Structure 1
Amino acid sequence: MRSALPTALLFAALAALPCPADPAADDAASTIRANEMRARIEFLASDELEGRATLQRGNDSAAKYIASEMRRIGLSPGGPDGSFFQDVPLWVSSYKYNYFLELRFKGGKERIDFEAFKHFTIGPGSGHDTVEGGILFAGYGITAPEYGWDDYKGIDATGKVVVVFRHEPQENDEKSAWDGKKMTKHSSFESKIENAKHHDAAALVIMNDPLGGHDPLFDSVDVVPDTMVSRTSIGFEEGKQPRNEPGGMPVVFLTMDSACRILHKTVDEMIAVQKEMDGSGNSGAFSVAGELKVRTQVVGRLQTTEKKLARNVAGVLPGGNPSKMDEVLVIGAHYDHLGSFGSGDDTIHNGADDNASGTAGVLEIAEAFCAMEKRPDRTVLFIAFTGEEIGLLGSRYYADHPLFPIDNTVAMLNLDMIGRDSNDDPKNARQVGVAGGATSSSWRPLLDGLVPSSNLELTWLDTDPGGSDHQPFRDKRVPVLFFFTGFHKDYHQIGDHADKIRFDKSADIARLAFRVALDVADRRKRPDWTDPVGARPERMEQGASAHRGDEIAIRQLSEEEAKRAGLDAEMKGLRVLFSKRKDLREGDVILEAGDAPVTDPGEFMKLLASRKGGSVSLFVQRGKRGTFFVHLKGTDLEGWAPGIK
């Protein structure tokens, strides 16, 4: 870790900086131009950089480009070895999974063996076990007293294999009592799974609702998909063998034709069943002669685990006031994206908005600072982070291994996705969202004073921001601001191309961030820290969907959070809201515990309590594409919940 930069070195660096002569602050801001933003974004989002995935060739090319630009602009190297790079050591671990899936119908003399991945597949949230039981069709599998609906009313699902429709009643009716065409919580896979467990079902089979007109639940193939056979995790921990413990209720997706064979119905007859249910408000439950055997066992094995080096890119503008130059303002953005994957003619996820736009903004702000003859009073660190898309790895590493002491870090400004309009709605053409307003009493007065002279309209976002590279700084009690223009249809899609960027708007946002940075760098007193209200355990509401302990707080994952984490919107794990632990971070999603899915915080806490004195393995997703295992044993289980001491 670097201590405060010696004064002599700072003045020497100042003398060496090839910055232009002294324009006023307004003139410096005017050096941030749309055409320069365009040139930077178009290069970073070009096919040549192959989507800039962490540890891949295109990511390294992007890092070298950013370093060369920092050098050209006139920044001093910020890396601990005198270069522009801070190494970020990561473990890359690969896992291989074998699927033992079986779905067999037996009724009288009839026997049907369904083919895995062609006729059925393991569903999200499935347990890993083998069961056999009678067959019960239970409508939508919903119990919703607020809508006067109970598919399990008057039937006994104990020990049965329950078959249910996807989604919910009257979903295509704008006037539906079920919140019109908007899906309620009861439509989710997680809700159906939990309700089946509540009614002691042996297994759950989910089929498409025939009136919905939906795409198939899964792509029917003859072999197990590669994405299910192999998983790769990237993180700070060395890979370990999963425990592969059996247990939990099996959940499978079944094709429409296969489901009809089990239920002894035609598709037209199932359409009639659904119409009758939607029209009458009554469950269409019925039993089926015969039994169904369901096996959903998965065995994972660690294949390889290898240590590799990723890189943050850091450039420094030393402060000009000897009494304040040891204090540091951090301005950052992540430069990584998702890389190249998928099928078709175009597989490169270029990431123009996410986050070539923010990276270009940081470089333009650095150039504006260097356009001023008078250096800011405080030192400014410009940093491009790696590994954001797989768990904020670069910024988390920096926060734990800072180039300047965290106690001397006065604030962190983060630019992530600043190039589009939220939802591509023209009404949001001037809108920019800013989060972090509650981390300092300085922020709202400052922004409210600067925005009127810009071309922008400010929307304050959540008061306790997370989900991007400002989060590790906030967790270290550093005041943060996060500039963000919102999600759109190309978020994490092939279509996030440079030709869809609003370069004028991104330049306006960079100019606004520059003026904020200049104020922070020169103000008499550093911004104060205020603890944001939000996902703190002492403030978190208690209830069936949330629990807290001394060291960690979790709750059921919402649909929007699932989307941001890269999960199926209908699948819900447990989101970590707050953590003092080293093995789990805020924003992590716990998908499995002991090789069984976890969807209910209460049941999860009971599982941990039952393992007191023993051990349990958690399968965790961090960021959009990274997964890993956390192995808890002994004292690792402390601090989760009352009773686990």
Structure 2
Amino acid sequence: MKILRQVYLIALYLLISFELFAQIYSNTNSNLISKKDLLEKVSVLTSDEFEGRLSGSDGYNKAAAYSAELFKSFNLKPAGDEGYFQNLKVEYNKILQPAVFNLLKEGKVFKEYELGRDFIFRGFTGSADVKAQVVFCGYGISQPEDGFDDYKDVNVNGKIVMVFKYHPRWQKEGIEIKNGSIREKSRLAFEHGAKAIIFVSFPNDKKPQGVIGSILDGEGEHLITFPQLHISIEAADDILEQTGYKLKDLQSKIDSTKQSFSFNTYSKVHVIATAEYNKQAPTMNVVGIIEGSDSVLKKEFIVIGAHLDHVGSQAGKVIFYGANDNASGSAGVIQIAETLSKSRSSLKRSVIFVLFASEELGLFGSKHFVKSPPVNPDKIVAMLNLDCIGHGDSIQIGNGKSAPVLWQLIKKIDEKSSGLMVERTWAGGGADASPFHDIGIPSAYFVTTNSYEHLHERTDRVDTLNPELYEAIVNLAYSSLIELASGNYQKEKIVNEN
């Protein structure tokens, strides 16, 4: 009987020990967050209902409302101006139907191009109905004072200008090529009398850029009656067909001579762009807080954020879903918030969860957050930014040269978990981490290596994500956040190293 009692006690001890171990393991396991939960949230954020989440749009507002409801269900403390919303205003341009780009011959449609495949409007296109000849103007540079002017020997008045989207990668001695933004190139064409502008990618790149959605236009006034579109290399070659050139020939010629080469193609196209512009459209960050459990350290904060916005939709039928950019980061922040809301006592410091608006336009959401923070910014110990974390083959943590102690902390955690973090890093923040870096807050930019294969393309969907890598990087961010919120990390001084 005594032996049986001892066996029972040993068995009971082993059972309790096993359960205790399992509990400890579950609290430190690097895969507390599952790819299944992450992908479910990405699927919601990339649904047609949210229309590509362009800041200022109804679709973005719905995505923000969905996120705020989740924060509320996790019992996060609201930290916005009104509940979870921190309000700001941004430029917004809604692209509507009709949306037309056709090649004409003898006044009739010779070739009809498809929106989203053969062409796309720039995010801040103006509205107009234009039938005109196309004039090729190289890189769209006009600096006659420096001896380089793509408009010098051509008449573009009343015509449509076609230029390379970006400035040349070469430098010409004695010339500093000035502002090459989309808005600046459009302004130059407009001032020379053009009625619209067509942008083309570099055909000689190893992987030429396709027609992508983009709203990053640069500074300056919106040209409300001036269409801007980006066409495929194939469509550009159609326009050039009767000249004897292909687009790749023109890039090679200009790049080799470093001389302007502009001419009238004599091809005629029909462009119809329809848009509604709002210079001060309301939008919002989504902000919530989990307070720390330590009476002293809870007055210090760790920020973890991701931009919720993407580049929207056009004409009600072409949607840029933005699964990797950046539904992946937003879903990661939301899932980490949900997981931590169930184990609040493990946090000594407080944690601010924020989904930023308008990163795609120029970091306006994160800049607004830093300018009007919900807490004293001096009390923010560190910032973790999750951006484009669902596609690729390994993990990069940016800003390690500016916040090396923070970077090493994350590296050590990775070595004990997935081991997927590479040595490559950089200085200066990056994306929504930059405004924090700029005011002296150490930051870490979580991003996957080779992440941009589908950047701003319609193929950036849930089915092109890497679920295993995605799960690994979110768990690394979660474990890093736990370590930072434990109080073991002390705020470091930013290192100004490039």
> Does TM-score exceed 0.5, indicating one fold?
yes
Q: How does 1:101-180 map to 2 (within 5 A)?
A: 118-127=133-142
Q: What residue number does 2:453 align with?
A: 489
Q: What residue number does 1:319 align with?
A: 292
Alignment length (residue pairs): 373
SS of the residue 2:280 aligns to: strand
Deviations 1:439-459 (A, max 9, x none): 334224312321122124112
Change (3 A) 1:125 1:466: farther
Query: Out of 463, 466, 470, which is 2:426 matched to?
Result: 463
Distance between the aligned counterparts of 2:80 and 2:294, measured in 1? 22
User: Is this contact kept in 1: 2:382–2:441, CA < 8 A?
Assistant: yes
User: Is this contact kept in 2: 1:93–1:234, CA < 8 A?
Assistant: no
Q: How does 1:226-245 map to 2 (within 5 A)?
A: none
Q: What residue number does 1:61 align with?
A: 62
For structure 2, the 5+ residue unaligned runs are 1-21, 95-129, 155-165, 177-191, 193-199, 225-235, 267-275
Q: Does 1:436 align with 2:399?
A: yes
Distance between the aligned counterparts of 1:42 and 1:332, measured in 2? 19
Q: What residue number does 2:439 align with?
A: 476
With structure 2 as the length reference, what TM-score do the two structures score?
0.63
Q: What residue number does 2:36 align with?
A: 35
SS of the residue 1:461 aligns to: coil
User: Is this contact kept in 2: 1:337–1:354, CA < 8 A?
Assistant: yes
Query: Out of 493, 502, 516, which is 2:480 matched to?
Result: 516
Deviations 1:93-117 (A, max 9, x none): 89xxxxxxxxxxxxxxxxxxxx995
Q: What residue number does 1:364 align with?
A: 335
Change (3 A) 1:420 1:304: closer
What amino acid is the match of 2:464?
Answer: K
Query: Out of 313, 322, 342, which is 1:340 matched to?
Result: 313
Distance between the aligned counterparts of 2:77 and 2:415, measured in 1? 34
Change (3 A) 1:412 1:306: same
By how many angstroms is 1:355 displaced? 0.7
Change (3 A) 1:69 1:457: same
Q: What residue number does 1:164 align with?
A: none
User: Is this contact kept in 1: 2:216–2:362, CA < 8 A?
Assistant: no
By how many angstroms is 1:356 displaced? 0.7
Change (3 A) 1:25 1:398: farther
Distance between the aligned counterparts of 1:216 and 1:504, measured in 2? 29
Distance between the aligned counterparts of 1:45 and 1:216, measured in 2? 26
What amino acid is the match of 2:168?
Answer: E
Deviations 1:30-89 (A, max 9, x none): 4411110111011111122111111111111110111111111221111133x0111012
By how many angstroms is 1:189 displaced? 6.1
Q: How does 1:143-292 map to 2 (within 5 A)?
A: 190=168, 194=172, 256=240, 259=243
For structure 1, the 5+ residue unaligned runs are 1-21, 95-114, 130-140, 142-158, 162-187, 220-226, 243-252, 261-266, 272-276, 286-290, 295-302, 422-427, 535-645
Q: Does 1:529 align with 2:493?
A: yes
Change (3 A) 1:522 1:333: same
SS of the residue 2:348 aligns to: coil
Distance between the aligned counterparts of 1:88 and 1:310, measured in 2? 6
Deviations 1:517-544 (A, max 9, x none): 111111245221222312xxxxxxxxxx
How well do the aligned residues superpose, as a CA RMSD in angstroms? 4.8
Distance between the aligned counterparts of 1:522 and 1:212, measured in 2? 51
Change (3 A) 1:488 1:368: same
User: Is this contact kept in 2: 1:91–1:307, CA < 8 A?
Assistant: yes
Q: Does 1:503 align with 2:474?
A: no
User: Is this contact kept in 1: 2:215–2:361, CA < 8 A?
Assistant: no
Change (3 A) 1:475 1:401: same
Q: What residue number does 1:87 align with?
A: 87
SS of the residue 1:377 aligns to: coil
Q: Does 1:45 align with 2:23?
A: no
User: Is this contact kept in 1: 2:86–2:286, CA < 8 A?
Assistant: yes
Q: Does 1:310 align with 2:283?
A: yes
With structure 1 as the length reference, what TM-score do the two structures score?
0.50
SS of the residue 1:419 aligns to: coil
Distance between the aligned counterparts of 2:42 and 2:463, measured in 1? 10
How many percent identity over aligned positions?
A: 25
User: Is this contact kept in 2: 1:329–1:411, CA < 8 A?
Assistant: yes
Change (3 A) 1:467 1:160: same
SS of the residue 2:71 aligns to: helix
Change (3 A) 1:259 1:213: farther
User: Is this contact kept in 1: 2:306–2:333, CA < 8 A?
Assistant: yes
Q: What residue number does 1:452 align with?
A: 415
What amino acid is the match of 1:341?
Answer: Q
SS of the residue 1:439 aligns to: coil
Change (3 A) 1:196 1:336: same
Q: Does 1:75 align with 2:82?
A: no
What amino acid is the match of 1:124?
Answer: Y
Distance between the aligned counterparts of 2:470 and 2:481, measured in 1? 16
SS of the residue 1:330 aligns to: strand
Distance between the aligned counterparts of 1:419 and 1:116, measured in 2? 43
Distance between the aligned counterparts of 2:54 and 2:397, measured in 1? 26
Distance between the aligned counterparts of 2:208 and 2:489, measured in 1? 59
By how many angstroms is 1:259 displaced? 4.3
What amino acid is the match of 2:365?
Answer: G
SS of the residue 1:89 aligns to: strand
Change (3 A) 1:459 1:160: same
Change (3 A) 1:394 1:364: same
Deviations 1:623-645 (A, max 9, x none): xxxxxxxxxxxxxxxxxxxxxxx
Q: How does 1:385-464 map to 2 (within 5 A)?
A: 385-421=356-392, 428=393, 431-464=394-427
Change (3 A) 1:37 1:407: same
